[in-house]
Amino acid sequence: MNTSDAVQQVHESRAFTIVARSGWFVTGLLHIIIGALAIAVALGDRGVRPDEVGAFEAIAAAPVGGVLLTAVIVSLGGLGLWMIVDALLNGGPMHRWTSAVASGAQGLVYLALAVPPTILLLGGELESGRTARTVSAFLLDTVAGAIVLVLIGLGVAVAGGYFVVKGIRRRFSWELRPMTPRRGRAVRALGAIGYLARGVAFLLLAGLIVVEAIQADPYDVTGLAGALGALNRGFLGPLWLAAIGAGLIVYGAYGIARARLARL
């Protein structure tokens, strides 16, 4: 058996598949927590942060938080590795180069997402928006850097638009295994609402990045929590923020369903 066959065998093993599926479960859980935090902010709670940092801190503060953080790290890291290996060996879920690129990129995102809980587990502290402010401050030192930041914002906007279209047109059925009609309708409804809410959150973040890049103020580029906070301060902001929070909770429920029903 050569190295490629050995890697393929590990990739298709039950243990590795279970870890990858647990990554979808954790992703869903994170969106549920972020959505709940967003609703809390809409209701007037200024002590929480509706983003990944706030979600990880909530997990760490739970009973046996260290055990939970360890499970989160293993699940997210496992899903990231699974997607990267799938991209290299199989060309991603669609078995073509574009699918391979997308799958590999998503795998890297999940690996990066496992870093903050690792920092918390090792006793470090996290700050919402710190990375965004650091990167934006570096880029805004030059005109070329400001252009790059705007392009990043536009890239986030494209991703947000993709999620909105994916939700409205329900272009996610290929992600799931065949289901009974009743279950299929329920899961697709969760996915449609969830992807739409996730897309809107991305579009808000993109707008914040572009506006603050144009204004050349890196300290206002504060990530998802900053974008949702800006929305909350606008006209009927708490109502819109609560609606997005509810949508993120629905997306989280879809993610948990996907942990069981995803094609792997």
Token digits for 197? 């809410």
Task: Report the alpha-carbon distance of residue 250 to residue 28 in Å, rounded.
Answer: 9
Residue type, 219: Y
DSSP characters over 143-159: HHHHHHHHHHHHHHHHH
Tens place of pLDDT for every residue, the chain, 264 residues?
566 666 677 667 788 889 889 999 999 999 999 999 999 999 988 878 888 888 998 999 888 889 999 999 999 999 999 889 888 887 776 767 777 888 888 889 899 889 889 988 888 877 655 555 555 555 556 667 667 777 888 888 888 898 899 888 887 777 777 777 788 888 889 989 989 998 888 888 888 777 766 665 555 555 677 777 777 787 777 898 899 999 999 999 999 988 888 776
What residues contact 163, with CB distance under 8 A and at least 6 apart?
195, 196, 198, 199, 202
pLDDT at position 10, please?
Answer: 67
Token digits for 224? 């998802």
Task: Report the alpha-carbon distance of residue 6 to residue 243 in Å, rounded.
Answer: 47
Q: Position of tokens 């103020």?
A: 217
Indicate the burial class of 52 (C-beta count within 10 angstroms; 0-12, 13-18, 19 or more): buried
pLDDT at position 72, please?
Answer: 94
